[in-house]
Amino acid sequence: MLERFYPNEYLDSVYDIDFEMYYKQGIRGIISDIDNTLVPHGAPATEEIVALFDKIHKLGIDTCLISNNQEPRVEPFAYAVKSKYIFDAHKPTPKNTLFLGDQIFTDIWGANRAGVQTVMLKKIDKKEEIQIVLKRIPEKFVLWRWRKKLQKTQ
């Protein structure tokens, strides 16, 4: 039952993702959250994230930022990284797509329900809104169970 919340992969940072490997596996699109996935909550696009998106695009992978935030937050970020975007999204889409997110109950579960491969990333910023902090408590349990399951299969 908890499997529906499990990511396909869990990494420390977006910079740890092997995008070349995913391209070789047939991934041609990436959907990503912004806040606490790519940059700290509310931060603008950094030079590093702009360079990473440039690398992703040069591989031949299209990108779309998908956020529950409103357009004034999402549009300037998307413009900086030259990505499509959806604001006020309430999240994801299918098979040749990879979804990056930092939260199980909004990002990973939504993408899993849509049949999209997922990579969960550790949150960047420790400062979060209270509704997110409350979701992090059961999230720890789900990740613990996921890790236990992985250990059994190795």
pLDDT in tens, 99-131: 898 888 888 888 888 888 899 998 877 776 777
136's tokens: 């992090």
The sheet that has 29-32: what strands, in order across it?
Answer: 9-11, 117-121, 97-101, 29-32, 62-66, 84-86
- Find out whether 35 and 69 touch, Cβ atoms under 8 Å: yes
| H or E element at residue 32 | strand 29-32
The per-residue pLDDT for 104 is 85
Find the range with the poorest average confidence among 11-20, 26-35, 62-71, 112-121.
112-121
- Find out whether 152 and 145 touch, Cβ atoms under 8 Å: no
- Find out whether 69 and 91 touch, Cβ atoms under 8 Å: no
Give the model confidence (pLDDT) of 126-148 as tens digits. Answer: 776 777 777 778 888 888 888 88
The per-residue pLDDT for 91 is 59
pLDDT greater at residue 10 or residue 150: 10
